[in-house]
Amino acid sequence: MRMTDTVQVIGVKLTGAAFDVYDQMPIEDQSNPEKVTERLLADCAPDPFMAFQEFKVRRLRDGETPDAFLAALRRLAQLAGGVSDTALASAFVAGLPEQTQESMRAGARMESSR
C-alpha cells in the first residue's frame, strides 16, 4: 500500500473517539500518518497503570487468534512500561480457555521433569 493510499483510508477506518480526535486535527496533519499516529497515541492510548490493569485481565476473545491475543498482550505490556518474558508467557497462558491452559501446564510439567 502506498503512502497516499494509507492517508486516504485513515479517516474511513477510524471510529468513535479515535475518529473524533482525527476529525479535529488540522487538514494538513490529517494527511501525515506520523502526526496522526502521534496524536491518536497521545489521546487514545491508556496510561501505563490502565494498560497494566488491562494486561492483567486480558483474555482470548471469541474469534481472536492466539497470535493476535499475544500481540495485544505485548502492546499492553509495552504501554505499561514492559514486563518480563515470564510474565508475558504467564499472562498468555492465563488468558487461554481453561482446557487449553491445563494442556499447556501438563506439557510444561512433563518438559521440566526431563
Q: How many domains does the chain have?
A: 2
Amino acid 109 reads: R
55 and 108 inside one domain: yes
21 and 36 inside one domain: yes
68 and 90 inside one domain: yes
16 and 39 inside one domain: yes
> Is residue 75 a contact partner of residue 46, using CB atoms and an 8 Å limit?
no
Top pLDDT among 4 and 74 is at: 74
29 and 56 inside one domain: no
Whether residue 1 has pLDDT greater than 80: no
**Helix 16-23 / helix 3-13 crossing angle, nearest 10 deg:** 120
37 and 74 inside one domain: no
107 and 52 inside one domain: yes
Q: What is the pLDDT, as a whole number, of residue 71?
A: 95
Structural domain harbouring 34: 3-44
Which are the contacts of 35, defined by CB distance < 8 A and separation ≥ 6? 25, 29
Distance in angstroms (rounded) separating the CA atoms of residues 113 and 105: 12
Q: What is the pLDDT, as a whole number, of residue 88?
A: 97
On average, the pLDDT of the chain sits at: 87
Q: What percent of the chain has pLDDT over 90?
A: 49
61 and 108 inside one domain: yes
58 and 106 inside one domain: yes
52 and 105 inside one domain: yes
Residue range 49-58: mean pLDDT, rounded: 94
25 and 65 inside one domain: no
Q: What is the pLDDT, as a whole number, of residue 5?
A: 64
Mean pLDDT lowest among 10-14, 75-79, 89-93: 10-14
> Is residue 17 a contact partner of residue 44, using CB atoms and an 8 Å limit?
yes
Q: What is the pLDDT, as a whole number, of residue 4?
A: 57
Residue range 87-109: mean pLDDT, rounded: 91
Residue range 30-41: mean pLDDT, rounded: 87
39 and 15 inside one domain: yes
CB burial of residue 5 (10 Å; 0-12, 13-18, 19+) = exposed
